[in-house]
Amino acid sequence: MSYQSTYKPAGSVAAAIESHFLGQNMKACQEAGASTATPPPLWVIEALVDAAFWASLRKEEGNPPKISLAYLTPAQAGGPLLFEQRLPLNADVLTKLAPGVERAGIHLGVWDEDGELYIWGTTLTIPNLCFVLDVSEPGLLVIKHRRMCGFGKFTNVAVLKGDQVKIIDNHGALLPDCPPMLKVLLDLNSAGDWNDPVNVLIQLAVSMRSHGRGGALLVVPTGSHEWRHSIIHPVQYAIAPAFGGITSLTAHDGSEGASRWQGSLGREVAHIAGLTAVDGATVVNEQHELLAFGAKIGRKKGSDPVDRISFVEPIQGSSTVVVHPGHIGGTRHLSAAQFVYDQRNAVALVASQDGHFTVFSWSSSSNMVAAYRIDTLLL
């Protein structure tokens, strides 16, 4: 089968996406023998991307569509909502359906028969490694899949924005000592528990990016006060005692009432992430206890100004470069780089108002601060 797309990047990206899903499916079967979704063939990927892109540029009652398409049969979904009649997959149909399926977690089920794609209904449940295409905003498409562990943020495979195509690189662009949250986002290390500290940090990153105001989150060692030497005093919004709203929930093992506890955790994550919108940095320890927010970062007494960092975005074709921290962002990025330079056991997360998101950590292998641009992984 072949498909002639009118959105040119759909054809250029399809082969790489097909290869990714085939490879992941084969690996899952060899390692665990686990049941996974059917990998989409090349022409299906191209057709899905083409239809979704043109739908993303339209509006229904003045609002651009937000849609999630999942490639699976009704039998592979859990408790699907089935349309009495199949609907053709095209921009017109997607635009009309969008207002009813724009909430998070709702997927339009898509399958093919006799070389034609059709929409069979909706589902809230999809199998592992199921191909998902999200229309996030006009011209912005994110291709992803559900993790094999069954929990956590979906693994992004590619991001298309207009004529820009970014395919995630799971291996080549990484430094040897990249932070654990980046390994999990790239699916190099499975953190399967819903309350795993790394998964919680990823949820915080997604939430602080979503408020769109920009912000900085500093994660410091538990029980240490060394971080205070890199903060300008007095701290206007210091917290005493440390607030452990997230900590008390992550102590739960998730064996009973997991959905309810996850909902509570989501609210606590939104609570802390919302504070990052206040001017200054929010400080939490490795157990996610809140120590301060609105804190002003200053250079540690006796320390040198940070004048170079390594910078990389984990996408194909990207390579690590050494630059001045001012080259990758403004004041937040510069102060975060200085904080990690002075507090080498800490990690800094910086969200920009333009949607960029950067993680700063100390790299022992390169003996400098390492910055990772990860917004393509958080969409």
77 part of a folded domain: yes
Q: Residue 277 pLDDT > 80, yes or no?
A: yes
pLDDT number for residue 250: 77
Average predicted confidence (pLDDT) for the chain: 89
124 within 8 A of 68, measured Cβ to Cβ:
no
Q: Which residues pair with 168 in a beta bridge?
A: 315
Question: 33 is in which domain, residue-wise?
Answer: 8-167
1 part of a folded domain: no
Q: Say whether both 162 and 200 belong to one domain.
A: no
Q: Which of 137, 167, 197 delimits the end of a domain?
A: 167
Average pLDDT over residues 312-321: 89
Q: Say whether both 154 and 231 belong to one domain.
A: no
User: Is the pTM here over 0.75, yes or no?
Assistant: yes
Q: Say whether both 57 and 124 belong to one domain.
A: yes
Q: Say whether both 61 and 121 belong to one domain.
A: yes
Q: Say whether both 20 and 128 belong to one domain.
A: yes
Q: Which residues pair with 60 in a beta bridge?
A: 63
DSSP 24-83: HHHHHHHHT----PPPPPHHHHHHHHHHHHHHHT--BTTB---EEEEE--GGGSSS-EEE
What is the CATH number for 364? 3.40.1700.10
Q: Say whether both 221 and 263 belong to one domain.
A: yes
Helices 8-31, 42-56: crossing angle, 10 deg rounding? 130
Average pLDDT over residues 270-295: 96
pLDDT band at 101 (very low <50, low <70, confident <90, very high): very high
Q: Say whether both 47 and 91 belong to one domain.
A: yes
Q: Which of 124, 145, 167 delimits the end of a domain?
A: 167
174 part of a folded domain: no
pLDDT digits (tens, 9 = 90+) for 218-259: 999 999 999 999 999 999 899 999 999 988 887 765 555 556
Q: Which of 116, 140, 167 delimits the end of a domain?
A: 167
Q: Say whether both 86 and 222 belong to one domain.
A: no
2 part of a folded domain: no
ω into 241 cis (within 30 of 0): yes
Q: Residue 190 pLDDT > 60, yes or no?
A: no
Q: Residue 379 and residue 151: Cα distance in Å, rounded?
A: 16
pLDDT number for residue 130: 93
Average pLDDT over residues 203-218: 94
Residue 208 zone, left/alpha/beta (φ > 0; ψ -120 to 50; rest): alpha
At 300, the amino acid letter reads K
Q: Say whether both 200 and 62 belong to one domain.
A: no
Average pLDDT over residues 313-321: 89
pLDDT digits (tens, 9 = 90+) for 68-99: 999 999 999 988 999 999 999 999 999 999 99
173 part of a folded domain: no
Q: Say whether both 110 and 253 belong to one domain.
A: no
Number of domains in the chain: 2
358 within 8 A of 372, measured Cβ to Cβ:
yes
Q: Say whether both 151 and 20 belong to one domain.
A: yes
pLDDT number for residue 294: 96
Average pLDDT over residues 177-193: 73
All residues at 6 or more sequence positions from 71 whose CB lies less than 8 Å from its CB, including other chains: 37, 38, 40, 44, 48, 110, 111, 130, 131, 132
Q: Residue 53 pLDDT > 60, yes or no?
A: yes
197 part of a folded domain: yes
Q: Residue 182 pLDDT > 90, yes or no?
A: no
pLDDT number for residue 348: 97
Q: Phi/psi at 166 (nearest 5 deg)?
A: -120, 115
